[in-house]
A and B are shown apart, each in its own frame.
Chain A
Amino acid sequence: MKRTDCPLEQETLAIVHAGRWPDSCDEASRAHIDVCVTCNDIVRVATLVANDYQTALPTAHVPNSGLIWWRMQRRQRQEAVRTASRVITIVQAIAVAAGVAVAIGILAATSRAFPFAPSDLSRTILTQWGIPLIIAFAAWLALAPVAVYLAVSKD
């Protein structure tokens, strides 16, 4: 099996991270690194990458933390509004469709001229309960979107 590690791997990496390579490295470590392929690769690659990182750090221009915070809050609000609006639209469409159906039903029940009028019993019930039914329906129209939103929305 091909050897992929070296027992001194971590020590070699520590030398690089401590900035001791190449000038402040002891002779024993230097001798090992010269002959060990794994440690030689570690020194080479880790030195280049670490130097690149240290060079890039002072020149990295990132947005101000206040600006990032403000953008995050704005985006969160926009997402909340979008979610709420979507639910409102769906529920209102359902409510309007149901409202039209109920209105047609009440009209049919109370109008004698309507060709498909229900029985006398149904007509009597609807005549007595027509107004409360309309009030109940209006209340449902107002509260249903809120109830649905609270039930389905996670945001």
Chain B
Amino acid sequence: MDFTGVMNDALLAVAGARSKSEARGLMDEETFRAFYERTSRAVWIYLARVTGDRTLADDLLQETYYRFYKAGAAHQDEGHRRNSLFCIATNIARDTHRRNARHPLEPLELNEAAEETVTIDARIAERFEESTDLWRAMAQLKPIQREMLWLAYALGSSHAEIAEIVGVKSGSVKILLFRARRKLATLLGRPS
């Protein structure tokens, strides 16, 4: 074997040893898999709803768990661990949204029969596969509004948890949630 080959093998052995030693702070396979089984569906639905894209949610789910695993952070309890996971998922979804926003498409007019036509990003409208009233309305909200509504009403997160996950002050959650809820209710229209 040549010198370079020997050196590379030696260094990769060192890298492997370091990775193993650093891996002591990471979750073991059994713990990770149990945690994944408990949380993955909720995370996937959250990502699918916030981004409006099921295929994208598949990719983001893996990225979320990889970053969570690699962070190797110690958590006080299951709730704190879960919040960290959703915080990572939120940041990843936002990064994706920002990347997509750099290439905006022409606005699309929806609800033509209504007095006020509402324009939304065509990309988001297309992504929301479910053409239910809820998701047509959700598509017109800001990402942070979708995140907050989902966390509060689908996952039952407290205001403190929502603040931690979406990265706003705890005192601001109530008013932001109120505005998001009001806007969504308005978009859905008054019940008959």
Contact with A along B15-50 (1 / 0, CB 8 A): 110110010000001001100110011101100110
Tell me what chain B mostly uses at the interface: helix, strand, loop, or mixed: helix
Q: Which of B86-94, B105-113, B146-154 contacts A (4 or more CB under 8 A)?
A: B146-154
A53, B154: Cβ atoms under 8 Å? yes
Closest 7 CB pairs of A and B: A53-B154, A49-B153, A65-B33, A46-B153, A84-B15, A62-B40, A41-B185
* Cα–Cα, bound, A57→B131 (Å): 18
Size of the chain B interface, CB-CB below 8 angstroms: 51
Q: Which of A72-80, A112-120, A127-135 contacts B (4 or more CB under 8 A)?
A: A72-80
Residue from the list A69, A76, A80 in contact with B33, Cβ < 8 A? A69
A49, B150: Cβ atoms under 8 Å? yes
B15, A149: Cβ atoms under 8 Å? yes
Residue from the list B19, B37, B41 in contact with A60, Cβ < 8 A? B41
* Cα–Cα, bound, A155→B16 (Å): 9
Residues on the A chain within 8 Å of B7, using CB: 88, 92, 142, 145
Q: Which of B61-69, B75-83, B115-123, B160-168 contacts A (4 or more CB under 8 A)?
A: B61-69
A48, B134: Cβ atoms under 8 Å? yes
Contact with B along A80-107 (1 / 0, CB 8 A): 1101110110001000000000000000
B29, A45: Cβ atoms under 8 Å? no
Residues on the A chain within 8 Å of B33, using CB: 65-66, 69
B65, A72: Cβ atoms under 8 Å? yes
B184, A45: Cβ atoms under 8 Å? yes
Residue from the list A17, A52, A150 in contact with B134, Cβ < 8 A? A52
**Known: A44-B185, A85-B8. Is A153-B18 also a contact (CB below 8 A)?**
yes
Q: Is A63 an interface residue (CB 8 A)?
A: yes
Q: Is A146 an interface residue (CB 8 A)?
A: yes
B32, A45: Cβ atoms under 8 Å? no
B41, A57: Cβ atoms under 8 Å? yes
B150, A45: Cβ atoms under 8 Å? no
Q: Is A4 an interface residue (CB 8 A)?
A: yes
Residues on the A chain within 8 Å of B62, using CB: 63, 68, 71
Residues on the A chain within 8 Å of B135, using CB: 52
A145, B156: Cβ atoms under 8 Å? no
Query: What are 14 of the A-B contact pairs (CB < 8 Å)?
Result: A40-B185, A45-B181, A49-B154, A50-B154, A52-B135, A56-B45, A65-B40, A80-B16, A88-B8, A142-B3, A142-B7, A145-B7, A145-B11, A146-B11
